[in-house]
Chains A and B, each alone.
Chain A
Amino acid sequence: MAKSVNKHLIFIIILPVLVISLGISFNFGTSDSVSVPQVHGMDVTIANHLLFQTADNCLSCHNNLITSSGEDISFGSSWRASMMANSARDPYWHAAVRREVMDHPESQAFIENECSTCHMPMAHYQANANGKMTEVFTNLPTNKAVTQQNLLAIDGVSCTTCHQIQGDNFGKRESFVGGFLIDTLQPMGQREVYGPYPVDAGRSKIMHSSSGFQQKESKHIQQSEMCATCHTLYTHTLDSEGEVIGELPEQVPYLEWKHSSFVDDQSCQSCHMPEVQDSTVISSVWGQPRKNVSRHSFRGGNFFMMSMLNRYRDELGVQALPQEMDAAINRTIDHLQTKSAQISIANAYMENNQAIVDVTINNLAGHKLPTAYPSRRVWIHFSVTDRNGSIVFESGAVRPDGSIVGNANDDNDGKYEPHYSEITSQDQVQVYEAIMADPDGKVTTGLLTAIQFIKDNRILPDGFDKSTAKEDIAVQGQAFDDEDFIGGTDRIRFRINLKDIEGPLQIDTKLYYQPIAFRWAQNLAPYDSPETNRFVNYYDSMSKSTSVALASTKITLK
């Protein structure tokens, strides 16, 4: 009996002590869940290598942002309907990359890596940080994204791309062509994202816990140089064997802006991310009112691609809701029609049975009009109608297929319209555009085949001195010698023979804009690939709405 009791006593003493000791050592031996060097359950190895998060990590808090006037400026929904968000879904880009790969098959890896820099920046930098080249087509189609790399790729130019860019090399040549710097050393959880506002210490944990990023105030993200990192693009010209033989300033709106009078007054962001006047919160989760909040709609000019994305949204994997895309399209067209250009008739009179009409175009933008990717063109549609309502002269009418009547380039891919200072014939059209040529001077729309611009009469921004402009932004062709083609404006004379035509005459002028010119689309048709075929089909199905009038005016000439 005594032996048994002693045994009980041993259990009574030892077991509770054992349990407590075991438990306490277990508790101290395992790290507190809060301070574990993991990021929201993410393995630390992944955290060390993960540079970005997709926008859905940001969207849920930065939505429902309503200004005091009732305008919805939600960053997430504004952004996801923009071309920035859809840069990797852009079917024209898919087709263009495929065309370049087919033209230069030996350079496929280089081409895909290069083109993904700005169209799939997160996937590109993630892959490069891991010592790999980025592939474009392995991440497509975008609505079949499976892996983390796929998801980063299709998220396009996303929140944690721009807000992680550091300002150290801003404005320098090495910052261009997607040469922006981001920190690749800090693991997720310690990564910094930059914003223009002072960081409220009390709130900082809210974002950090849900995104893995630490907020840091820095106004460098409001500088034009930020946008210039991707929107200043030099492409390498390749010969038939894939050797680099030159360089083309494919798009340089930042350098155009630097050479304009806008440089001291307005940044890229001030126009493309216009500020809200009233104070408004930037987070719907415990946000506090901020002044001068920048809208994240990234309004630009490519209404046509937005329409295409919306129309073929299922095939292209568009995330923005249809109504969000519609709103973005309307915003873009409104931006084009109010902020890009004016057209006016300076003089109009009759002289020796000829109508003399001087038309003036004013560029309101802080860069050339059109600017950036060279598929874009602006042209004058000029028409004269007699007293019976019959058109007696017309230059620049657009056909239902998107081509321009009388435009040599649309009729023949080896030709193009020169810059005119005077138009006297209906087969002459004033087209403001950049025409590329290969080393032999042959007109081309192949980016990596082109080595020069043989025509660049895009309307100059105010303050732009064409005589001092460097080669990258130089006026090319006959516009250089046109004395009426100067910073901010171009004046063109229409001299119309009106013999035997009764007035009064109705003079109509319109300035049209087409983001993807007819020739740029149709030159893809000979390439038999899924991407090029798809895009040409899309284009043809929507060709009636490829252009929009930016401005118009009319007078009656008696």
Chain B
Amino acid sequence: MGKIYPFRRILFITTVTLVFFAFTSVTHTQQDNFQFHSSDKAYSTLTYDSSIANPPKTGAELYKKACANCHGADGKGTSTTQLGLEVAPPDFTECNFATREPDGDWIAIAHQGGPTRGFSKEMPAFGKALSERDLKKIMDHLRTFCTDDNWPRGELNLPRPLVTEKAYPEDEAVFSTSIDMENEGAVNNEIVYERRFGARNQLEIVFPFGYTQQRNGGWSGGHLGDMALGVKRTLYHNLNSGSIFSLTGEVIVPTGDEATRYGIGTTVLEPFASYGQILPRGGFFHLQTGLEYPLLRDKAEDEAFWRAAIGKSFNPIPWGRTWSPMVEILGSREIESGAVTQWDIAPQMQVTLNTRQHIMLNIGVRIPADDPERDTQLMVYILWDWFDGGIFEGW
């Protein structure tokens, strides 16, 4: 009887996921347009300004006529002295800036103006002056200013699941919390700091701390757990295929107090691979798999883990916030004969909170699928993509 429940849960989750996708596809009218972060209905309503006698045809011509005044014919940006602007236009030739965001975000700004993504009003809205086709041509030209193909494009920066690591090297700060919802109470927190270096690399530092409920009903904690230090490198990325693959090496050091259960008392090496894939119609898929090697075997066992997430991004209101429902399937197993593989399922919803869309909330539950005795956890994170600006900017 006990073995039946997991299948029921998986069946149920799958059903819920399908409902998500069915629901969101109603509002999604883009045809297989994976470059766009969002389903921008507004694009389909754009019309070309037929009053222009000899309209520019190529992306370069369109850019020169519509953009070059401020952004410079060479993409480096015209000086503020010449323009009278307070903020200098960005340098499109700098790949570190120019590759970060997907075409859809840039086009949203060009079409609706800077404030639509929380940037300066000095970036005007081209409205109906430029058609969707024109904007795409301009974007294609604009993408030529960065000539270094090493930099993974922003489209491959897929929404971050609650547990599964994504393959994109990112500048992010994430504050996440998981709350045990059954049995003895426990609240585990993590502050993750990720800093990109170079085109493909990322440094990651994790500060865990938590609180646990005592037998007398009181709570203790607030202590630092076992910190982790990791380095990620993207080995492969291809926008045309929508794929990105990275390897990460992480060291978990015993900074936590073993006696208070905030540390396991040994250093753990954790290599893992991450894969991201853009799917049609705003969909995406993550896969992560790796191993944990504790240096002191009497403290912990070797363990393998598998994590996958599937989701989809959509915008109910054109140019508005982005919603990304996801489902994660999480598996882990100690590497010894007779060990039990543990499976969890985590339905969740990520939503961008501010106009600039660089502050995000994700909330979901991590449900043990094989063993109902393990605790279900409520999981939440707040993510700050700090490369895009301060935490109070762009609201």
CA distance A12 to B372 in the complex (A): 13
User: In the assembled complex, how far is the CB of residue A35 from the closest CB belonging to chain B, in whole angstroms?
Assistant: 9
- Chain B residues contacting A64 (CB-CB under 8 Å) are 69
Decide if B376 touches A11 in the complex (CB within 8 Å): yes
**A206 interface residue (CB < 8 Å to B):** yes
Given contacts A16-B349, A33-B320, contact A205 B83 (CB under 8 A): no
**A76 interface residue (CB < 8 Å to B):** yes
- Chain A residues contacting B321 (CB-CB under 8 Å) are 27
Stretch at the interface among B113-121, B153-161, B283-291: B113-121
**A4 interface residue (CB < 8 Å to B):** yes
Decide if B181 touches A60 in the complex (CB within 8 Å): no
CA distance A209 to B112 in the complex (A): 8
- Chain B residues contacting A60 (CB-CB under 8 Å) are 69-70, 83-85, 122
Decide if B317 touches A23 in the complex (CB within 8 Å): no
User: In the assembled complex, how far is the CB of residue B377 from the closest CB belonging to chain A, in whole angstroms?
Assistant: 10
Decide if A15 touches B124 in the complex (CB within 8 Å): no
- Chain A residues contacting B331 (CB-CB under 8 Å) are none
Interface residues of B in 324-348 (CB under 8 A from A): 325, 347-348
CA distance A288 to B325 in the complex (A): 45
Given contacts A12-B9, A40-B115, contact A285 B66 (CB under 8 A): yes
Given contacts A12-B12, A27-B320, A32-B320, contact A209 B70 (CB under 8 A): no
Chain A contact residues: helix, strand, loop or mixed: helix
Decide if A41 touches B115 in the complex (CB within 8 Å): yes
Closest A residue to B47 using CB positions: A202
**A330 interface residue (CB < 8 Å to B):** no
- Chain B residues contacting A350 (CB-CB under 8 Å) are none
Decide if A61 touches B69 in the complex (CB within 8 Å): yes
**A146 interface residue (CB < 8 Å to B):** no
- Chain A residues contacting B216 (CB-CB under 8 Å) are none
**A203 interface residue (CB < 8 Å to B):** yes
User: In the assembled complex, how far is the CB of residue A146 from the closest CB belonging to chain B, in whole angstroms?
Assistant: 15
Interface residues of A in 1-17 (CB under 8 A from B): 1, 4-5, 7-9, 11-13, 15-16
Decide if A210 touches B124 in the complex (CB within 8 Å): yes
Interface residues on A, range: 35 or more
Question: A-B pairs with CB below 8 Å: how many?
Answer: 155
Of B182, B319, B378, the contact of A34 (CB 8 Å cutoff): B319
- Chain A residues contacting B123 (CB-CB under 8 Å) are 210
Of A4, A12, A56, A284, the contact of B347 (CB 8 Å cutoff): A12
Interface residues of B in 102-141 (CB under 8 A from A): 112-116, 121-130
- Chain B residues contacting A209 (CB-CB under 8 Å) are 112-113, 115, 121, 124-125, 127
Decide if A15 touches B84 in the complex (CB within 8 Å): no
- Chain A residues contacting B86 (CB-CB under 8 Å) are 56
- Chain A residues contacting B125 (CB-CB under 8 Å) are 205-206, 208-210
Decide if B317 touches A59 in the complex (CB within 8 Å): no
**A55 interface residue (CB < 8 Å to B):** yes
- Chain A residues contacting B127 (CB-CB under 8 Å) are 202-206, 209
Decide if A40 touches B121 in the complex (CB within 8 Å): yes
CA distance A59 to B372 in the complex (A): 66
Of B114, B317, B349, the contact of A19 (CB 8 Å cutoff): B349
CA distance A23 to B320 in the complex (A): 13
Contact with B along A266-301 (1 / 0, CB 8 A): 000000000000000000111010000000000000
- Chain A residues contacting B128 (CB-CB under 8 Å) are 201-202, 205
- Which positions in B face A, CB cutoff 8 Å? 2, 5, 9, 12-13, 16, 20, 23, 47, 49, 51-53, 65-67, 69-70, 81-86, 112-116, 121-130, 181-182, 316-321, 323, 325, 347-349, 351, 355, 363-365, 367-368, 372-373, 376, 378
Given contacts A16-B325, A286-B65, 10 further A-B pairs with CB under 8 A are: A32-B317, A32-B319, A56-B86, A202-B127, A205-B124, A210-B113, A286-B66, A288-B52, A288-B53, A321-B81
**Residue contacts A-B, CB under 8 angstroms, 22 given:** A4-B182, A5-B5, A8-B9, A9-B12, A11-B181, A11-B376, A12-B9, A12-B16, A15-B365, A16-B20, A20-B23, A33-B116, A33-B319, A39-B121, A40-B115, A59-B83, A59-B84, A203-B49, A285-B69, A285-B70, A286-B66, A286-B126
- Which positions in A face B, CB cutoff 8 Å? 1, 4-5, 7-9, 11-13, 15-16, 19-20, 23-24, 26-28, 32-34, 39-41, 55-57, 59-61, 63-64, 76, 200-210, 284-286, 288, 321
